[in-house]
Amino acid sequence: MCGIVGVIAKRPAAGLLLEGLRRLEYRGYDSAGLATLEGGKIARRRARGKIRALEDRLREEPLPGVTGIGHTRWATHGKPNEANAHPHATGQVAVVHNGIIENYKELRRELEQKGCVFQSETDTETVAHLLSVYLREGASPAEAAAKALPRLEGAFALAMIFAGHEGLVIGARRGSPLAVGHGEGEMYLGSDALALAPLTSRVTYLEEGDWAELTADGAVFHDAGNNIVSREAQQTALSGAMIGKAGYRHFMLKEIFEQPGVVGDTLASLIDPETGRVALPDLPFKWNAIQKISIVACGTAYYAAKTAKYWFEQVAGLPVEVDIASEYRYRSPPLHDKGALMVISQSGETADTLAALRFAGERGQKTLAVVNVPGSSIARAADGVLQTHAGPEIGVASTKAFTAQLAVLACLALDCARTRGAVDETRLDALTQALRAVPGHINAVLQKSASIREAAQILAEARDMLYLGRGLYYPIALEGALKLKEISYIHAEGYAAGELKHGPIALIDEDMPVVVVAPHDALFEKTASNIQEVMARGAKVLVVTDEKGASSLDPPPFWQLALPEIDPFAAPLVCVVPLQVLAYETALAKGTDVDQPRNLAKSVTVE
């Protein structure tokens, strides 16, 4: 979390830094700040809240200077106020930071004993003081960085400027991503290539442990052992145009409506148009050579993994273990000698997912990453990559990245099924066809937004909610509940419908709406009984089903949405869409900040 930028420019730095920060705001929006060199001295402007507040502050008090750094914060240590906003500075140095300095308490004690006076509660300020101590001892900026960096524990990306050193920015990465951008007589630093896209499409990603000295002429890269190393620059395909809402009220709504295209593009990248069959690039392992796959992810991507478990096990007969990355990495799971690891991540930067990938990779497992951002840390660390073609996702609550992940995972399951001979060709073709029909079905669901809006008025009054589903619809219920709580702040729990009687039914009364995902599949009658059980206890039940399901629910629920009929294999990609719209409309009715919900960040680069 937190976004950092740095520039050495031929023009005023503040505007360039702000442009970069706007594109990084998805990483956090508790506060924002800039520091530049003004006549060799460090000058700062900071503001609590979103980048808009910093822009207002800069209008009142502009910030001159052509060398500078900027930050948008997701608070870890210290309240989200101005004193804790980055950059943190002493007279000699200003620092912006993404990540956590784990040994900051020891460092702070040591530095206070040396007479350093701290002005914030942050871990970051220790870095500024540590550098200053070395600078006061006579070290050059690069020498100070080389001494300070090994003393820091934790995962971080840093950018620093130094008083009296116009035209110098030092950046460092350990755990958190950092990219160097190459311009014409200008150099840039950013948390990701997206931040740099308006400035340059030539970037060099720092490797783990690297630090770099940027001057107007270029960059000198050092590895963790302070050796000078060469790092290749690459072209990125990202557009410099600011990603807009294209007339939609929110990014989230735009992204929900992009799903037919995004799922279509992702499927098109994996299905041969000639044969109509799944045709994947080479994978780092052979389906026939493995006996188990572990799929690890966080948040929404974890629910994509849970859906994939049903697909791989039902269609391909391959045992699947699914885990939350933060649990997997620390529970030291015994790794199957015929196992493989797959991680799923929209950003490709989630710290726990990256650590899980490294954990398995270091122990000899072949690793495959399903990511949305090519060139991301996870994409670069994995043995093989499959890309979701969702395009930049800005709304913090993930929508189109999820359906694109499902599209990739469904294709992988079909590829696995074919290779292992688990399903005959006719059935495989039918399943592939069902997937190809998904974009059209999503379109049809989006036409029903008005009906979903009506249901949202009911949910907006609730304090607690349950989401139920069975089989493939259980992970979809979990994702629906996550969407609702993320953006409307209503407490919502997803449950396997069969678990209802083992606890959650005790919560049911007329104030507890229940959303049930139940298209008419082999388990429909069982879920229909669960629906009657909660209705009998006074709950308002909202059912997402299909035509067949809708006509067989008797008595009918309080509200229901009938989706077009589709093979249950492909149905999760369609069923999740009304739940996204339901969460969106509920948040709208409650007046919450849909695109940037409180306390959250899009890319979680701390543990």
For binding to ligand G6P (CB under 6 A), which residues are involved?
A: 298-301, 345-347, 350, 353, 396-398, 600, 602-604
Nearer to ligand G6P (CB atom), residue 298 or residue 428: 298
Cis amide leading into 555 (omega within 30): yes
Of the residues 2, 298, 411, 575, only one is catalytic, namely 2
116 noted as active-site residue: no
Nearer to ligand G6P (CB atom), residue 346 or residue 432: 346
State which amino acid sits at residue 245. Answer: K
In angstroms, give the least distance from the CB of 299 to ligand G6P: 3
Closest CA to 545 of 557, 537, 533: 557
Distances (CA, A) of 540 to 344, 498, 535: 35, 19, 7
Given phi > 0 = left and psi -120 to 50 = alpha, else beta, which region is 557?
Answer: beta
What span, in angstroms and rounded, lies between the C-alpha atoms of 345 and 356? 12
Nearer to ligand G6P (CB atom), residue 441 or residue 602: 602
In angstroms, give the least distance from the CB of 356 to ligand G6P: 11
Nearer to ligand G6P (CB atom), residue 299 or residue 572: 299
In angstroms, give the least distance from the CB of 406 to ligand G6P: 13
Q: Is the distance from CB of 520 to CB of 549 less than 8 angstroms? A: yes
Phi, psi of 574 (to 5 degrees): -90, -45
Mind giving me the DSSP string for 408-433?
A: HHHHHHHHHHHHTT-S-HHHHHHHHH
Structure tokens at 577: 């869409």
Nearer to ligand G6P (CB atom), residue 389 or residue 470: 389
DSSP letter (8 states) at residue 51:
H
Structure tokens at 391: 């395009």
What span, in angstroms and rounded, lies between the C-alpha atoms of 603 and 176? 11
Residue 169: count other Cβ atoms within 10 Å of its Cβ: 28
Q: Is the distance from CB of 106 to CB of 73 less than 8 angstroms? A: no
In angstroms, give the least distance from the CB of 560 to ligand G6P: 28
Nearer to ligand G6P (CB atom), residue 87 or residue 299: 299
- Beta-carbon contacts of 185 under 8 Å, excluding residues fewer than 6 positions away, are 10, 216, 217
Nearer to ligand G6P (CB atom), residue 290 or residue 341: 341
Cis amide leading into 87 (omega within 30): yes
In angstroms, give the least distance from the CB of 505 to ligand G6P: 29
Q: Is the distance from CB of 524 to CB of 497 less than 8 angstroms? A: no
416 noted as active-site residue: no
In angstroms, give the least distance from the CB of 353 to ligand G6P: 5
Q: Is the distance from CB of 597 to CB of 397 less than 8 angstroms? A: yes
In angstroms, give the least distance from the CB of 358 to ligand G6P: 14
Whose CB is nearest to ligand G6P?
299
Nearer to ligand G6P (CB atom), residue 398 or residue 432: 398
In angstroms, give the least distance from the CB of 322 to ligand G6P: 14
Longest dimension (CA), the chain: 82
Of the residues 309, 400, 540, 602, only one is catalytic, namely 602
Closest CA to 191 of 209, 210, 172, 169: 172
Strand partners, 180: 189, 204
In angstroms, give the least distance from the CB of 434 to ligand G6P: 25
What span, in angstroms and rounded, lies between the C-alpha atoms of 573 and 568? 10
> In the β-sheet with 464-469, what is the strand arrangement from edge to edge?
491-496, 464-469, 514-517, 541-546, 559-563
Mind giving me the DSSP string for 164-222?
A: T-TT-EEEEEEBS--EEEE-SS-EEEESSHHHHTTT-SEEEEPPTT-EEEEETTEEEEE
Nearer to ligand G6P (CB atom), residue 131 or residue 381: 381
DSSP letter (8 states) at residue 66:
S
In angstroms, give the least distance from the CB of 214 to ligand G6P: 27
Nearer to ligand G6P (CB atom), residue 398 or residue 586: 398
Catalytic residues: 2, 602
